[in-house]
Amino acid sequence: MADLRNTFVGIKSPNPFWLASAPPTDKQYNVERAFKAGWGGVVWKTLGEEGPPVVNVNGPRYGAIWGADRRLLGLNNIELITDRPLQINLQEMKAVKMNWPDRALIASIMVPCEEDAWKAILPLVEETGADGIELNFGCPHGMSERGMGAAVGQVPEYVEMVVRWCKQYTRMPVITKLTPNVTDVRKPARAAKHGGTDAVSLINTINSIVSVDLDTFAPVPTVGGKGTHGGYCGPAVKPIALHMVAEIARDPETSGLPISGIGGITTWRDAAEFLALGAGNVQVCTAAMTYGFKIVEEMISGLSNWMDEKGHRTLDDITGRAVRNVTDWQFLNLEYISKARINQELCIKCGRCHIACEDTSHQAITKEKNGVRYFEVMDDECVGCNLCVNVCPVDDCITMEALPIGTVDERTGRVVTGQYANWTTHPNNPMRKGAVEPAE
C-alpha cells in the first residue's frame, strides 16, 4: 500500500492534500469537518491586521463558466480576505491545532506592506501553534487596490522585502504564495528565494471577467448594476498553473525550492501531475467548494491505487519526475514523425476530424469512399499535428503512431532516421550553431 505521508518544509501531514486559503477554511467549524473528511492540512482563510475587519459585498460574488453538461469549469470571485475579527480567527486556529495535532495548519496573512504591520501580527499567529505561514501576495481584486495582495506580488523587490521581514520576525516556515498575474513568474519566485522563503505556493487567482449580462450590459457578478474584475480559478486554470509550477521547478535559480501546487486540482490525477512537475504537495479550493469536503476521499484512494499499480511507494518516487522532460521548443526533436490512425470499428462517422483537419490547414482526412461516409488519414498530407485526436468525440478512436525507423514519410519523401536533431542546428535556422552569416 502506497505511503501518502507528506513532509513539506518540515510540516508533516498524513497526505499531500491541503485545502487552500479560501471560504472552506475560514472557521473552526469548517476546518474540523474538513479534517474529519480526511484533508491532510489547511491554509486558513487569509488573516488581515488587527482592527475593524474588511467588508465584503452583500450581493453576488461569483461568476462561472460551464461545460455543455453544466459542469463547472471556471469560477471567478470578488471576495476579500477574512471578514471575521482577527482575535476570533486566532482563537479558533489554536483550538483546531490542539484538537488535530497530526494535521497541517498554516496561517495565510495579508497586512499592509510595512515592516511594523508584519512584525505585529507574526507573534500573534505563532502563539496559535500554527505550523507555518503563507504570505498572500496574490489576491487580484479589492486588496490590491489598497496596496496589498497582487500589488505586492507583482513587484519582486517588495516580495523579497516582506519575506525578509517574516524570516526575521518568526521561526515558523514561510510559504510565499505567488500571483499568476505577472509576465514571468520566475521573477517573484526568485525574489522570494533571495528573501529567504522556505517555499512558494502557486497559483492564486487570475484577473478575469467571466461574462457580460447582455440584458443589463454589466459584467458578472453584477453588484447594483456594476461589475469588476475578479479572480479566476477552477479546472480552467490548471494548465496555466502547471506551466508556472514547471517554470519554477526547472529554473536553475529556484530549482530545489519547495513548491505547493495550486490551481484547478479536482481529481487525484490533477494532483499527481502537479507532483510530477515538482510540487511537494497540493492545495485545493474550487473543487472543495463545488463538490464538498468528501472529494478528498477519492483523491486519496485514487492516488494510492495508481501508486500501487505503478510501483511507486512514496510521494518522493513521483515528485519532480516530469521536470526533466520539460524543455524549450528549440530542443524538441524535429526528426520525430507521427501520423494519425483511425480505428474504423470505433468510428461513429460524425466527420468532426475531417472538418477540423480540412478547415484548419492540412486536408489530410477523407470523408467518403465509394459514395459512403468514410474517414481515413492520408499519410501524404498528414503533418502529425493531432488536432483530429483532440476533436474526435470517441475515446481512443484516433491515435497517433510514430513512424518506425527506416520507413519513408510519404509527405516529405524523407526516410525516418531515428536520430535527434532540433531547431538549433536546422539548416533553415539563420541563427543555427555554425551558421554562416549572410553577406551584407
Ligand X SMILES: Cc1cc2nc3c(=O)[nH]c(=O)nc-3n(C[C@H](O)[C@H](O)[C@H](O)COP(=O)(O)O)c2cc1C
Q: Examine the residue annotation and report whether 139 is marked as an active-site residue of this protein.
A: yes
In the complex with ligand SF4, the residue whose CB is nearer, 172 or 356, is 356
State the residue for C-alpha cell 483550538. Answer: 95
Interaction of residue 223 with ligand SF4, rule CB under 6 A: no
Interacting stretch for ligand X, rule CB under 6 A, among 3-11, 17-25, 151-159, 428-436? 17-25
The only residue of 41, 142, 264, 278 in contact with ligand X, by rule CB under 6 A: 264
Number of residues that bind ligand X (CB under 6 A): 28
Asked if 38 contacts 296 with a C-beta cutoff of 8 angstroms, the reply is yes
- Choose from ligand X, ligand SF4, none: what does 385 bind? Cβ within 5-8 Å by kind: ligand SF4
Helix axes 186-195, 238-250, angle to 10 degrees: 50
C-alpha cell belonging to residue 201: 505556493
> Can you tell me which of 54, 209, 326, 350 binds ligand SF4, judged by CB under 6 A?
350
Query: Which of 75, 178, 192, 249 is in the footprint of ligand X by CB under 6 A?
Result: 75
Active-site entry in 139, 285, 347, 392: 139
Biggest CA-to-CA distance, the chain: 81
Q: Residue 77: enclosing H or E segment and its boundaries?
A: strand 72-77
Q: Which stretch binds ligand X (CB under 6 A): 74-82, 323-331, 350-358, 426-434?
A: 74-82
Contacting residue, 153, 219, 263, 384, with ligand X by CB under 6 A: 263
User: Is 108 one of the binding residues for ligand X (CB under 6 A)?
Assistant: yes
- Which uninterrupted H or E stretch holds 108? strand 104-109
Task: Return d(Cα 256, Cα 278) in angstroms, integer.
Answer: 9
Which one of 5, 349, 369, 414 is in contact with ligand SF4 (CB under 6 A)? Answer: 349
Q: Does 21 bind ligand X (CB under 6 A)?
A: yes
Amino acid (one-letter) located at 167 = K
Q: With CA atoms as reference, report the closest residue to 302 among 262, 263, 275, 279.
A: 275
357 binds, among ligand X, ligand SF4, none (CB under 5 to 8 A by kind): ligand SF4
Residue (of 98, 219, 118) closest to 172 by Cα position: 118
Q: Which residues contact 292 (CB under 8 A, 6 or more apart)?
A: none
Per CB under 6 A, which of residues 386..415 are in contact with ligand SF4? 386-388, 392, 394, 397-398
Using the 8-state DSSP alphabet, how is residue 181 labeled? -
Within 8 A by CB and 6+ apart from 319, the residues are 275, 276, 278, 279, 280
Distance between CA atoms of residues 226 and 86, nearest Å: 30
Which of the residues 32 through 51 are near ligand X (CB under 6 A)?
Answer: 45-46
CB of 374 to ligand SF4, least distance (A): 9
Residues 6+ apart with CB under 8 A from 89: 26, 27, 44, 45, 47, 82
Per CB under 6 A, the list member of 342, 376, 403, 409 interacting with ligand SF4 is: 342
Are the C-beta atoms of residues 319 and 16 closer than 8 Å to each other? no
Which of 273, 364, 376, 409 touches ligand SF4 (CB under 6 A)? 364
Answer yes or no whether residue 5 interacts with ligand SF4 by CB under 6 A.
Answer: no
User: Cell numbers at residue 151, please?
Assistant: 500589488
Give the three cell numbers for residue 30. Answer: 469548517
**Of the residues 353, 376, 403, 409, which one makes contact with ligand SF4 according to CB under 6 A:** 353
Q: How far apart are CA 3 and CA 238, in angstroms?
A: 26
Kindly indicate which of the ranges 280-288, 361-369, 381-389, 413-421 contains the residues binding ligand X, using the contact rule CB under 6 A: 280-288
Number of chain residues interacting with ligand SF4 (CB under 6 A): 26
Q: Which stretch binds ligand SF4 (CB under 6 A): 214-222, 294-302, 318-326, 349-357?
A: 349-357
- Supply 286's cell numbers: 474550487
Q: Among 6, 15, 176, 205, indicate the residue that binds ligand X (CB under 6 A).
A: 205
Name the one range near ligand X by CB under 6 A: 3-11, 16-24, 95-103, 385-393: 16-24
Phi, psi at 116, each rounded to 5°: -65, -35
- Among residues 368, 363, 364, which one has the least CA distance to residue 349? 368
Catalytic positions, please? 139
> What is the contact surface with ligand X in residues (CB under 6 A)?
20-23, 45-46, 75, 77, 79, 81, 108, 136, 138-139, 177, 204-205, 233-234, 237, 262-265, 284-287
> What is the contact surface with ligand SF4 in residues (CB under 6 A)?
340, 342, 347-353, 357, 362, 364-365, 375, 377, 382-388, 392, 394, 397-398
